[in-house]
Amino acid sequence: MKSVALIVTYNRIEKLRLCLQATCVLPFDCIVVVNNASSDGTQQWLSTLTDPRLNVIHLNENIGGAGGFKYGAQYISNTIKTDWIFFFDDDAYPSSNLLENFINLEKENYQLFCSKVVTPQRQLCSMNVPYKKIPHTMWDTIHYALFPDTFLPSINKSCDVQTFSFVGVVIHHKILKLYSQHIHEELFIYFDDLYFSYFLSQLGYKIRYSPELIFTHDVTLNSTIYNSKKLYYSVRNLLISQKIFNIFPPFTKGTIFLRLLKMFFLTSLKGEGKQSFKHFFRGLKDGFSYKSNKRYK
């Protein structure tokens, strides 16, 4: 079994050091790092590494996590002969037995696997939990808010799911060869992995949640998007799902309305006044007038 690690990085050199330290001790056949035009010395530091498996791609501009993963996926599809590609960010660290456990998984009916992702405190990383059943309708959304376990996998039990996160997903090379163009780089951040995985699910591909595969995601769970430009992407990308998916989008218009209403309330509660509302309303504007490859400067 040949395997490739695909890592996207941007201005997090200290976390990237830890990420590559955990990655390089594993028997990956190749390690691809996509550097999103980092300005913190990442390029210079990467040039000092001597691991022969390392392939580093330096981009001229930051095209976000979505663009970085798409670029890396297409680079691997076109230049590297492999079986499986492991996706993760520069702040995610694979467990020491990741590849051993993956080799032992039953793969006959699956070409897509997603991992259990935890924080450094060993808490479940909620942002990376896949949907067992996506909350599609308004009723689903209300039900999900009240009874989330209905829509999420049991944390330590394997099961089929509808979506995956780009932190810890494992994708067969045939899938990337056929469908990597459906990673929407214009999303920049947020919903890129959800929309790509939902697209694959709609095509009939099965995704297996396998808690034997573990990544540590070095994030703070109580951090907020409501005081940063991340709010813009969250609002905009939620809206444009209706345009990306012409038939059976992941969320109905009613669901999107409820989610936006919640975001507006949390912006009022957790945001930084006018600046946060600027991000929110610009996200609305650009979502309704969506144009491909538009980024928020």
Same domain, 148 and 180: yes
Whether 43 and 137 share a structural domain = yes
Range 193-207 average pLDDT:
97
In this structure, is residue 223 part of a structural domain?
no
Q: What's 146's domain CATH number?
A: 3.90.550.60
**How do residues 148-161 score in pLDDT, each as one tens digit?**
999 999 999 999 99
- The CA angle 60-169-20, to the nearest 5 degrees, is 55
Region label for 195, one of left (φ > 0), alpha (ψ between -120 and 50) or beta (otherwise): alpha
Higher pLDDT, 228 or 29: 29
Dihedral angle, C-alpha 239, 85, 180, 78, nearest 10 °:
150
Residue 79 counted as domain residue:
yes
Q: Are residues 244 and 97 in the same domain?
A: no
- Give the pLDDT band (50/70/90) at residue 295: very low
User: Of 194, 217, 240, at which residue does a domain stop?
Assistant: 217
Determine contact, residues 296/233, Cβ cutoff 8 Å: yes
Co-location of 112 and 38 in the same domain: yes
Number of neighbouring beta carbons within 10 Å of residue 106: 9
Number of domains the chain contains:
2
Same domain, 140 and 258: no
Alpha-carbon Rg for the chain, nearest whole angstrom, is: 19
For 88-147, how does the pLDDT look when each residue is reduced to its tens digit (9 = 90+)? 999 999 999 999 999 999 998 999 999 999 999 999 999 999 999 999 999 999 999 999
Across the range 8-34, mean pLDDT stands at: 98
In a domain, 199, yes or no: yes
Q: Which of 183, 217, 251 is the last residue of a domain?
A: 217
The DSSP letter of residue 47 is: T
243-267, pLDDT tens digit by residue? Answer: 999 889 999 999 999 999 999 999 9
Q: What's the pTM?
A: 0.95
For helices 274-288 and 253-270, what crossing angle results, to 10°? 160
> Do 195 and 83 share a structural domain?
yes
Of 255, 271, 57, 12, give the one whose Cα is nearest residue 151. 255
293 has pLDDT over 50: no
Whether residue 114 is found in the same domain as residue 240: no
Whether 158 maps to a domain, the answer reads: yes
Q: Are 144 and 171 in a shared domain?
A: yes
Using the predicted structure, report yes or no on whether residue 84 has a pLDDT greater than 80.
Answer: yes
Residues 151 and 258 in one domain: no
Query: Is 242 found in the same domain as 194?
Result: no
Burial class (CB in 10 A: 0-12, 13-18, 19+), 119: middle
Out of 217, 248, 267, a domain closes at: 217
The residue range of the domain holding 271 is: 230-288
